[in-house]
Amino acid sequence: NPFHHHQDLNRLLAAWRKPDTIIVNDWCWNANARHADIVLPCTTPLERRDVAVTKLDPVVVAMEQAVQPVGQSRNDYDIFAGIAREMGVEDVYTEGRTADEWIAFLYEKTRKRSADKGIDLPPLATLEEQGWYEIERRDDERVMLETFRADPDASPLGTPSGRIELFSEQIASFEYDDCPGHP
């Protein structure tokens, strides 16, 4: 949702008004959806099957579908495969795979790339059976802001004070009613 994290919302809004039609796929009625001409309702993570992992969390999670999709929502794959079908390029888009087959294909590709880096992930069936898999931490892992934490004076942050700022004089100086200098 670019309206949630874009640095210059006025510039974004000006750019957003240039195309004749804006189409978004989203699962909630947020600023992104409100500014679109057409909203394709996609499923939430609870309404679809997937595999999740983040860079900062050493856990791979098998996300099983918990509930049926609500209303007319569809998973992203089905939305875009449907658009591709209407455009006459469904086979090019799907490459003959279903959504579940894409999950299996991409997970296996990830398993191989991870193995090349010394990370052994279980087969997808094992992951789904267990529900999650914790990746063994490596000795060379870094801590976020490690150098700053070790010596803040030698490794200042990119803020005016060089420190973590709970109040920003710079943001406060803008004097926006809806954006004080603190969270």
pLDDT at 181: 84
| For the chain, domain boundaries | 2-48+69-118, 142-183
Which 3 state secondary structure label does DSSP give 129?
helix
pLDDT at 105: 98
pLDDT at 18: 94
Which 3 state secondary structure label does DSSP give 35?
coil
The model's confidence at residue 168, banded by pLDDT at 50, 70 and 90, is confident
Report how far residue 138's alpha carbon sits from residue 144's, in angstroms, rounded to the nearest whole number.
15
Q: What is the pTM of this model?
A: 0.69
One-letter amino acid identity for 131? Answer: G
User: What class has domain 2-48+69-118?
Assistant: alpha beta
pLDDT at 112: 97
Give the model confidence (pLDDT) of 117-160 as tens digits: 889 999 999 999 999 999 987 776 678 898 999 999 999 999 98
